[in-house]
Structure 1
Amino acid sequence: MKNFYTCFLVLLSMLCWAQETDSIKGNTSWAVSTGAEYGTVLPTNIHLESYPNRGYTGYSFQFLKQATGAKDWEKLYNYPQYGIGFFAFDFLENKQMGSPFAVYGIYNAKIKQWGKLKWSHHINFGISFNSNPFDLENRYYNTSVGSKTNMFISVGTGLYYEMGKHFDLGLNLKFNHLSNGSLKIPNKGLNSVAPQLSLVYYPERVTIKRDDSVTTNNKKYNTLEFSVFAGRKDAFYKGERRDEIKLYDGFDYSIYGTEAFYLRQYSAKSAYGIGIGITKDEEYNNTMYVSDSTLYQKKRFSHSQLLFSVIPTYRLMIGNLYVNVGAGYYAFKKTTKYDKTAFFQRIGLQYQFTDRLFASFGINAYDFHVANYLEWKLGYTFSKKARK
């Protein structure tokens, strides 16, 4: 799980618009940043709504590095800052929620600058620890998180003012999110919003000067890829007589399958295409029922049913890292009242170890916001032809 969250940082952090191309004069730069925020936990479920005070404080420390343009993707994405950070929550009057802290990767990009005043945005992604999960025995009823370990996502935007050669003072508006990708139910997510005051220290500033002479590799390719994937999820009983069993009682299920994609590159950053897949989902092939106040499961079909999917996909390319975003449909899925919809969405990070071999990590979701499962993928590029 830790490896997945670390890799997935790049997936979210690169979903941004590139600015006009610049070149950098000077040496590679690093910086450190500290921040403090006071905000509120959003009342996104009935248990959070019952809290009289949802205020919290947060504290961050970040180590940042300035991209120099040594690689093509750094030029394409306007020489961003990237690095690693640490964040700690203090829920003040709601200590029963735990004291989660996060380790995460960082992507910062400048949007606009007016003299010494800069407007930037940031995307952070990592893993958090030490949450208090939903636990009936210990009388912790908050359904926001079902596990001690969760994904940590933070996005925000803000203004920074250059105070001399070494310091920037920043004021940001942040949104934070904790969830586990449905590895453990419940997983409604814990969301918070806050203004943040930050101070950034630069031992040596890097001077950025516009340069229109930057060149990149303009070759474009059509590719044919095959892969196998697997995942795991926690599902709970939603049928009748639920009051006879524990809340969120259910079973763990495995998912695995194979896919083929054809993609056409149309710029140095982007490609689009379509894929087909065959999936075996144990949750779909089993059903749960209650008898004698006990939850059981049984086979839903006499023979296991496979799911056939069609998946239009967009790809964002950053060197050997690809961000894949798709929306698919299970063409022949038989659905009943408590089944998940036949439409699904996915977002994943693919890394090319060689020109042919790749691995991918991603999230499969439905209704555009509910995580279904995390998927791990290994694949091979059978055809890669340059476009004329």
Structure 2
Amino acid sequence: MKSFYIYFLVLFSVFCKAQEADSLKPKLWTASANTEYGMVLPTNIHLKSYPHKAFAAYSFEFLKQTNGNRDWESLYNYPQIGVGVIAVDYLTNKQLGSPYSIYGIYNAKIKQWDKLKWYHSINFGISFNSTPYNSDLGYLNSSIGSKTNMFISLGTGLYYEIGKHFDLGLNLRFNHLSNGSLKTPNRGLNSVAPQLSLVYYPERATPQKSDTVRIVHDKYNTVEFSVFAARKSAFYKGTDRDPSNYYQGYIYNIYGAEAFYFRQYSEKSAYGLGVGITQDDEYNHTMYLENGFVYDKKRFSKNQVLASIIPSYRLIMGKLYVNIGAGYYLFKKTWKYDKTPFFQRIGLQYQITDRLFASFGINAYDFHVANYLEWKLGYTFSKKARK
């Protein structure tokens, strides 16, 4: 628990320093305590064998109500942003560990009817203390391959004002733990649960729409260039695998470069098209089994670079962008156990300056299987206002 408190205090202090001094008004803050009781989804053969799949979770969240000081806040209907912690108890399934997570929160109102409010929320963070797959110890659940994982939670629910300072909420949440294939196996651990929330407002503050005419900002066409790097764990997939060491394999490096053209068509959205080249060491090697051990060898006489084309959509929230794309490796040669040439990706991009940006995202295939985590650094070469 010592490391848990350290991680929470560090994240909380960073979040607080990131705010402008004049926006830290006590009346804009709120806190909530939440509990959920649901079930782990049986998405693989080991989870299906569990007679009981129930879990319980307890969380605490600290949020700030945006008030329109930044243009994007009014565009997104004055969302709440903040940090939270959650602890999960898998009850009869202690072999899954006792994970706890620290996460950032985006919580936005969809509609309000007098005292009844409808919200949706997105949480994204990091989770610790899962019990990973270990054949030597007899832990054979292929859901999780590492102690540290990404935590993603999506939810929607209704809140009712029960007094001057409190709301009572009922949500439906979907939670996901995964390490992005940094270590296999990594089938992911998914759960769904109703959540009961008690929200405290020291002082209720409803964002007031300004009577000042809002400036309509320019829309831009941009040309961006970025380089990225990643690592992933891959295992031998032949039918003659050793049952006692089912996930033998190697860790491979991936790196590449991309160029994108984006056309902004509203203050919130842009669409674009990108091209990229990727050096994927897993693609350039093949694994084989010999005397019970897995080895790898070069697949081609010379390394093959993958060329890709990537149509994309961008959601704009101030300096933070959410990039969603679906791509295709144009000349990829595929064998029996190779991944499909189609891939999908979602990433968060932050504009460090008007030109320089950094990005973190997930590259996946089949729309649900993580391939690797991408770390990017890029530069905007052209940024022209649309006429």
Normalising by structure 2, we get a TM-score of 0.91
Paired positions, count: 367
5 Å-filtered alignment, 1:10-89, equals 29-89=28-88
Partner of residue 160, structure 1 = 159
Partner of residue 344, structure 1 = 343
Partner of residue 128, structure 1 = 127
RMSD over aligned Cα atoms? 1.8
Give the superposition deviation at 1:30: 0.4
Partner of residue 22, structure 2 = none
| d(CA) in 2 for partners of 1:181, 1:47 | 20
Partner of residue 105, structure 1 = 104
Partner of residue 364, structure 1 = 363
Partner of residue 334, structure 1 = 333
Give the superposition deviation at 1:205: 0.4
Give the superposition deviation at 1:107: 1.1
Q: Is the 8 A contact 1:28 1:68 kept in 2?
A: no
Of 243-252 and 190-199, the range deviating more from structure 2:
243-252
1:272 aligns with 2:298: no
Q: Is the 8 A contact 1:226 1:380 kept in 2?
A: yes
Q: Which amino acid aligns with 2:56?
A: T
Query: Which segments of 5 or more consecutive residues in structure 1 lack a partner in the other structure?
Result: 7-25
Give the superposition deviation at 1:212: 7.3
1:114 aligns with 2:113: yes
- What whole-Å deviation, never above 9, does each CA across 1:62-106 have from its counterpart, x for those lacking one? 101100111011111110011000101011111111100110111
Answer 1 or 2: higher relative contact order, Cα 8 Å, separation at least 6: 1
Of 65-74 and 315-324, the range deviating more from structure 2:
315-324
| d(CA) in 1 for partners of 2:58, 2:33 | 8
- What whole-Å deviation, never above 9, does each CA across 1:26-75 have from its counterpart, x for those lacking one? 97510110011111111111111111111111101010110011101111
Q: Is the 8 A contact 2:365 2:371 kept in 1?
A: yes
| d(CA) in 1 for partners of 2:91, 2:34 | 18
Q: Which amino acid aligns with 2:249?
A: G
| d(CA) in 2 for partners of 1:120, 1:281 | 41
5 Å-filtered alignment, 1:245-260, equals 246-260=245-259
Give the superposition deviation at 1:174: 1.1
Q: Is the 8 A contact 1:245 1:295 kept in 2?
A: no
Partner of residue 19, structure 1 = none
Runs (4 or more) in structure 1 with deviation over 6 Å come to none
Partner of residue 223, structure 2 = 224
Give the superposition deviation at 1:377: 0.8
CA distance 1:209–1:45, change in 2 (3 Å): same
| d(CA) in 2 for partners of 1:185, 1:194 | 27
| d(CA) in 2 for partners of 1:293, 1:214 | 72
Partner of residue 292, structure 2 = 293
- What whole-Å deviation, never above 9, does each CA across 1:239-267 have from its counterpart, x for those lacking one? 24213771111000000011111111111
- What whole-Å deviation, never above 9, does each CA across 1:320-365 have from its counterpart, x for those lacking one? 1111111111000111111100011111111111121111111111
Partner of residue 12, structure 1 = none
Partner of residue 236, structure 2 = 237
Query: Which segments of 5 or more consecutive residues in structure 2 lack a partner in the other structure?
Result: 1-6, 12-24
| d(CA) in 1 for partners of 2:209, 2:217 | 21
| d(CA) in 2 for partners of 1:223, 1:326 | 17
Q: Is the 8 A contact 1:245 1:293 kept in 2?
A: no
1:172 aligns with 2:165: no
Normalising by structure 1, we get a TM-score of 0.91
Partner of residue 187, structure 1 = 186
Give the superposition deviation at 1:196: 1.2
| d(CA) in 2 for partners of 1:149, 1:50 | 24
Give % identity: 71
